[in-house]
Structure 1
Amino acid sequence: MRNPELMLAGIGLVAMGAQWLAWRLRVPAILFLLLAGIAVGPLAGWLDPDALFGELLFPLVSLSVAVILFEGSLTLEFHQTRGLERVVRRLVTGGTLIAWAVAAVAVHVFLDFPWDLAVLFGAITAVTGPTVIAPLLKTVRPVAPVAHALRWEGILIDPIGALLAVVAYDLMVALRMTHEWSHALWAFGATLATGLCVGAAAGWLLGTLLRRGWVPDSLLNLSVLALVFAAFALSNAAQHESGLLAVTIMGIWLANRPGVPVRDILEFKETLSQILLSALFILLAARVAPGQIFGLGWPALAVLAVMLWVGRPLKVLFSTWGSGLNWRERGLLAWIAPRGIVAAAVSALFALRLEKMDVPHADRLLPMTFLLIIGTVIWQSLTARPMARLLKAAEPDRVGFLIAGANPVARAIGQALHEQGVPVRLCDSDWYSLSLARMMGLPTYHGSPVSEHAQRNLDTTGLGRLLALGVRDDVNQLITARARDEFGKRKVFSLPRSQDAGQAEKHLLDAAYRGRTLFAPELGYWKLSALLAAGARVKATRLSDSFDFAQYLAARPDHPVIPLFALNPKGYALPFTLDETLQPGAGWTIIGLHEDEPNGVNGANGGGGGVAGVASANGANGTNGANGTNGANGTNDAKDGGGAEGSAGARTPGMPGADGS
């Protein structure tokens, strides 16, 4: 036997490579994880999961699936299904029965499965799963109603599918042994009741511990993980195969219980789920030889086609009948239905038992299930995003900025980006400042971006980055710290502290809680506000072969320009930051802060005026018109640092606005 330590380390390296390749190609990682498992397992002969783990393989798989289901159920908040309650309910009840029936008939007709084995196969494969739905949604990015429906279906239906599979298996065994139906029906009721009771009790217990602060922060992740394992194991001990339902109910209970710090739990569980998911798909795929799959022949592809293009559309048609979803959203919902890890694990377990019972074609159950998993994952990984775009049911690319703040600085920057076609949305609790942004035609949200209301109602469609441009440094840091989980630490930006230069290190906020620093070391909010109040303008200038970036910077030595953003030829905006040097070329557009004269007369790079002091510089040399002067609206007015928004107190003209005091 090969070195177990080396094999475990190798699984980690293979998983990392598959995840990285999927990230680079922007497709779900499950596709490469499955292919990698087959490559290192039956093809190369390097990995044998049964020899490596022995009898611990399936307990490890079961506990891992329990953690994945629990993590997914923590995201299931009831408000997400507002308007979709009936659709979700039908997807996991009557719709599942339709998919079950279609799968059973297809495998009986094309592969000659006995009816009882066909019914078992239908129960195992009639469900989608969060292990494949969640990564697929990150890539496809469908509109919110479709995403919510798929997420709820995938997470709720996994334990239901496992429950149906257990009932079908018990019924199959009972009829072959004693021809009694009562045992299977009793098992169904007992499993359902046990999972519901244990899950609700575990959710209540964990929620109470967390709400009352009886679990210290240092033990939070360990305590939650231990209780999830305990709930799963106790439920299974009380009634076989009820554990998956128990952990799902436990997660939903916590997600919808006020005062429970679900966000703190999710951060750890998401990372753990990704690790477990990567390992599981490699291990289970390594147990299936390609010869077993190819040996099924063309009839297996016919089964796959029927399940994809007959069973799923019928299920969605039934589930969405009379709902508010339009035909485009229904079409995308019918297109996406990949199978996941629960189907693989359950089929592997039952196949071994049925082969010992000499059930005809039992040896084809596992390869047919894996063909379905691989087929649906490959097909929908490659086609779901193009189909979403074709149906116009996909969110736009997340290239825009969520801007925290609606003060004069935020409005000027937001207006400049908006005029260049970059999606923006300004958030602020100050209604007066926000109303000025609305009058400028900028999308807004009235409230704090870190409020609970924002988590549920803030529209971030097309917004994949955050700019913290508020007045107070501490608020900016709070916002960036909270936003790192959603946007990623490389996509969260904030203004430098007003007194970073020369300030003692012991007084500075830890970099772990800050966003990437924007623009220039001393260009904090008050400096920017003072420059705008003194007549500076945020302008867009297009570079060319005859007017490059170096010339742009040196064009006006008496009033130096401060570059803020660089837009590549495709219109993607990159902020200038202290940790990265940009080298824009010909065809790029630079949004910069120009320190103009108070009377609004521009120099060589002058541009036409605009509301809120935003101007555009056209042509290779950046001039607009023969004389380079601003237009009628190019002068500094009361909207941007003048009397209407004077400083708190005397409201001295030219000082920052009321929301910037």
Structure 2
Amino acid sequence: MHGLELAALSGILVIGILCQWIAWRVKLPAILFLLLCGILVGPVLRYLEPDALFGNMLFPFISLAVAVILFEGSLTLRFQDISGLRKVVRNMITIGAVLTWGITAVATRMLMGFSWEIAFLFGALMVVTGPTVIVPMLRTVRPNANLSNILRWEGILIDPIGATLAVLVFQFIVAVGLQDGIADMVAVFGKILLIGGVLGSICGFIFSVALRKHWIPSFLHNFSALALVCAAFAISDTLEPESGLLTVTVMGVWLANSKGVEVVDILDFKEHLSMVLISMLFIILAARMELSVFNDLGVSALILFGVLQFVARPISAQVSAFGSKLTGAERHFLSWIAPRGIVAAAISAVFAIKLESLGYPEAQQLVPLTFVMIVGTVLLQSFTARPIARWLKVAEPDPKGFLIVGADILSRNIATCLVENGFRVQLTDQNWNNVMAARMEGLPAYWGNPVSEHAERHLNLVGVGRLLALSSNKELNALAAQHYRIEFGASNVFTVRNRQPDDSVETAKSTFRLSGRPLFDEKVTYKSLMELVEGGAELKTTPLTEKFTFEDYLDQCEEKRIPLFAITPGGSLRIFTGDEDFTPKTDWRIVGTATCVPLRSLDKDGKHVQESAKQSD
């Protein structure tokens, strides 16, 4: 491969990860930064020319990438998540889609002057929202479970439906004037549904059986899933063009709802792969545009965006939610969220080229107009969704709380101290006596295995974003750490050391390879903490001042003073671990163990005064 081509490919990946990192820092969807960078390196600087770089492989690559992204999203669609809300989802992807299509098409015809054929094609493209923008937005906004599940299901299912609708409109445009035009269009629609539904179900069934019966070794699960998705998509599109998206979506939903099939590892792999593909796709598609085309759109494009945001979406959402159990506030929020994503951009790019060759000059405006809608909806909704969700009171609290595995006296003491400092906790234990003791102390406690299917349905994790594995069972701690690292992130999963007397240093270290971050100081173990608590040591919160520093805190009780947490003036909690280096400052609060009688105390001037009595060990 030539040096310039290698540099271009590497540059796409580097720019992609930088955009993702910036988006993470400022808590905005990465699509905004990806599109801006794509335009910068493409039409502005002319550093990236996707058509020259990829040649004839450009659109096959885009199609396969979109298929993998859709499959990853469909793996999260479990029917139990939308119990009681299936009617709303069904209405959103049928009645709501038709309303959005019709309103957008009429507005496009009136405002942009497109022919009716191109106007209805653009309306079909705007039906699509997509998981590439919905899922990151949901992570930032954090609406309640009802809204999250509806929007996620709609975003994933509407992709193949919108793509199929766009294909039908395109087939109608091609068939205009032909004797059997309408009949051909109906036949195409039937083939897409038949091939997508049947082939997707067959592939999902075969792969679920292979996983359930362990025909495939675990280290090949991810690669097998990727290969099967690409193969199913290719076969489906070969049998009937544009049916592949429906095929991979059906396959993913089948796997997600198959009993006895574990897809966590596959989902984890696909999430990382999807992030890479999404980053590449948005940069590549943005780099293909010409800035002069945006100038030709004029103010009419902005007015069309207003119609899409303030007319089409509210009408479709309110009609779809009519008669459901959703509250008025939930319906209003549903009327606001509908960002457009990568599928709309990819399909518009494919159809624009084909339509120009058929004699539709306005088709060249499809791609830039689609990008205006993508950027407009994502930008507006990203900045306003969270404040609106809070105003409507449909947002979950910030995930600053803790899921604590274990409910014995040690876990209850730590949980009580966290609650006293304003943090939400949720304890879980398989010992009924521990659970009852926690509930008697006013602490929420779940009785059962924290990684069971029952826990997935009944464990209340609203406002919870970190795990403290504090039980005496180190195997359960490790299992919980592995289970929740996907939901909370690996950096938010912590496990207490459960070192046995005969454990070597190597054994102790290997225990934590997959068990999250080790809690507290290297010498602190579950046994040592339990001995302190059972011996009468208390957990206390101590404020730091200019005259009483963190060093003074550590000296106060010699070896009996063990700092566990530090709370900043802004209310953020930092955990003392061996892999994080920070020094608490003035106005911080320290949560740690303390003996019943301190070795030293402070006089009125903040100076140390030695106590006359010293607590014995």
Relative to the length of structure 1, the TM-score reads 0.89
1: CA distance, partners of 2:402 / 2:12 = 38
Q: Which amino acid aligns with 2:233?
A: F
Aligned position for 1:635: none
1:388 pairs with 2:389: yes
Q: Return the alpha-carbon distance in structure 2 between the equivalents of residues 500 and 136 of structure 1.
A: 48
Q: When you count helix as a share of all residues, which structure comes out higher? A: 2
The answer (yes or no) to whether the contact 1:605–1:628 under 8 Å persists in 2 is no
**CA distance in structure 2 between the aligned counterparts of 1:551 and 1:433, rounded to whole angstroms:** 36
Partner of 1:85: 86
Cα deviations by residue, 1:608-632 (Å, 9 ceiling, x for unpaired): xxxxxxxxxx999799xxx999xxx
Task: Tell me by how many angstroms 1:555 deviates.
Answer: 2.4
Q: What does the per-residue CA deviation read over 1:541-578, in whole Å, with 9 as the maximum and x for residues that have no partner?
A: 11222222122222234x73111111111222211112
Distance across 2 between alignment mates of 1:262 and 1:128: 25
User: Is the 1:556–1:604 contact (alpha carbons within 8 Å) kept by the matching residues of 2?
Assistant: yes
- Map of 2:20 onto structure 1: 19
Q: Is the 8 A contact 2:472 2:498 kept in 1?
A: no
Change (3 A) 1:282 1:63: same
Aligned residue runs from structure 1 range 277-288, under 5 A? 277-288=278-289
Contact 2:402–2:465, Cα closer than 8 Å, also in 1:
yes
Deviation beyond 6 Å, 4+ runs, structure 1: 618-623
Q: Look up the match of 1:561.
A: 561
CA distance in 2 between counterparts of 1:620 and 1:575 reads 30
Q: 3-state SS of the aligned residue for 1:249?
A: helix
- 1:296 match: 297
For the Cα contact (< 8 Å) 2:557–2:598, is it kept in 1? no
Name the residue aligned to 1:361.
Answer: 362
- Which residue does 1:572 correspond to in 2? 572
For the residue of structure 1 that corresponds to 2:297, the secondary structure is: coil
1-structure distance, mates of 2:151, 2:29 = 16
Report the identity percentage: 47
AA aligned to 2:585 is G
Moved more, 386-395 or 346-355: 386-395
Q: Which moved more, 1:2-11 or 1:516-525?
A: 516-525
- Corresponding residue for residue 309 of structure 2: 308
Deviation larger for 72-81 or 529-538? 529-538
Q: Write the letter of the residue equivalent to 2:573.
A: A
2:209 match: 208
The 3 A distance-change label for structure 1 pair 62 and 563 is same
The answer to whether residue 44 in structure 2 is matched with residue 43 in structure 1 is yes
1:621-654 C-alpha deviation (Å, 9 max, x unpaired)? 799xxx999xxxxxxxxxxxxxxxxxxxxxxxxx
* Equivalence map 1:234-273=2 (5 Å): 234-273=235-274
Alpha-carbon separation, structure 1, partners of 2:202 and 2:604:
69
Paired amino acid for 2:536: G
2:524 alignment partner, SS class: coil
8 Å Cα contact 1:539-1:591 kept in structure 2: yes
Cα drift, residue 512 of structure 1 = 2.2
Q: 1:583 to 1:205 in 2, by over 3 A?
A: same
Between the aligned partners of 2:451 and 2:374, the Cα distance in structure 1 is 39
Task: Kindly indicate whether the alpha-carbon contact (under 8 Å) linking 2:201 and 2:251 is maintained by their aligned counterparts in 1.
Answer: yes
Q: Which amino acid aligns with 1:94?
A: I
Structure 2 stretches lacking a partner, 5+ long: none
SS at match of 2:251: helix
| Residue 169, structure 1, aligned to residue 175, structure 2 | no
Q: 2: distance between equivalents of 1:35 and 1:177?
A: 43
Q: Distance in 2 between matches of 1:35 and 1:628?
A: 68
Tell me the alpha carbon deviations over residues 364-389 of structure 1, each in whole angstroms, 9 at most, x when there is no partner.
Answer: 22211111112112212222222222
Asked whether the 8 Å contact 1:500–1:521 carries over to 2, the reply is no
Q: For each residue in 1:438-481, what CA deviation from the matched residue of structure 2 results, as whole angstroms up to 9, or x when unmatched?
A: 12111222222111222233221111111010012222222222
Task: Give 1:502 deviation, angstroms.
Answer: 7.3
Contact map agreement 1:405 1:426 (CA 8 A) in 2: yes
Counterpart of 1:590 in structure 2 is 590
Summarize deviations over 1:200-233 as a string: whole Å, max 9, x none: 0110111111111111122222211111111111
- Match of 1:481? 482
**Do the aligned residues in 2 keep the contact of 1:547 with 1:620 (CA within 8 Å)?**
no
Partners in 2 of 1:457 and 1:311 — Cα distance? 36
Report the residue type matching 1:562 in the other structure: I
CA distance in 2: counterparts of 1:197 and 1:474, whole angstroms: 42
User: TM-score, normalization: structure 2?
Assistant: 0.95
**2:65 is paired with a residue of what secondary structure?**
helix
The 2-side partners of 1:4 and 1:590 are apart by 54
Q: How does 1:438-517 map to 2 (within 5 A)?
A: 438-499=439-500, 503-506=504-507, 508-517=509-518
Query: Higher mean Cα deviation, 532-541 or 446-455?
Result: 446-455
Per the alignment, do residues 281 and 6 of structure 1 end up closer, same or farther by CA in structure 2, a change over 3 Å counting? same
Q: Match of 2:154?
A: 153
**What residue identity is the alignment partner of 1:64?**
A
Number of aligned residues: 610
Does the CA contact (< 8 Å) of 1:544 and 1:620 recur in 2?
no
Counterpart of 1:181 in 2: which secondary structure?
helix
